[in-house]
Amino acid sequence: MVITDLQLDAALRLAIAALIGLAVGLEREWSGHAAGPDARFAGLRTFLMLGLLGGAAGLAARGGHELLAAVIAAGGVGLSVAAYVMFVRHPGADRDGTTETAALVVVALGALAGSVSWLIAAGAGSLVVLALNEKKRLH
């Protein structure tokens, strides 16, 4: 089997999308937002998969399958919104939606990596991880 340049490009784009999700998920794990009694819906593995989901949507859009791309991305968005709604329904729940917003951004950056520019997506993903990690300094 011969691997084409198109296949290598797609693999690189998916890898970047996955790494963006992995980095955000790692930050969420290290910050304690993915474990314990007040844990949010996503950790390392979920964010990695959300990045891949966005990357797959971006590749579908790049290949001219815009409707499929929209459906794929909407799945990740729906999951994030549903997770936030379910979490805030608990009595005394913190209404902070940073983890769910980060999940939406991971899907969007994955789609950007898959369709337009993996370099811009990687740079923006780095900024997201920095902003999440520097919460105390930013507030």
Neighbour count for residue 138 (Cβ, 10 Å): 9
In this prediction, residue 56 carries a pLDDT of 98
Nearest Cα neighbor of 60 from 26, 110, 16 is 110
In this prediction, residue 30 carries a pLDDT of 87
The CA distances from residue 23 to 65, 68, 71, 88, 121, in Å, are 28, 26, 25, 25, 13
Nearest Cα neighbor of 16 from 50, 43, 59, 51 is 51
Q: How far apart are CA 71 and CA 50, in angstroms?
A: 14
pLDDT tens track, the chain, 139 positions: 898 999 999 999 999 999 999 999 999 888 876 666 666 778 899 999 999 999 999 999 999 999 999 999 999 999 999 988 988 888 777 778 889 999 999 999 999 999 999 999 999 999 999 999 987 676 6
H helical segments located in the chain: 5-30, 44-62, 66-88, 98-115, 118-133, 135-138
Say if pTM beats, i.e. exceeds, 0.85.
yes
Answer whether 111's CB lies under 8 Å from 57's CB: yes
In this prediction, residue 92 carries a pLDDT of 75
In this prediction, residue 14 carries a pLDDT of 97
In this prediction, residue 135 carries a pLDDT of 75
SS3 87: helix
Answer whether 39's CB lies under 8 Å from 30's CB: no
Answer whether 44's CB lies under 8 Å from 34's CB: yes
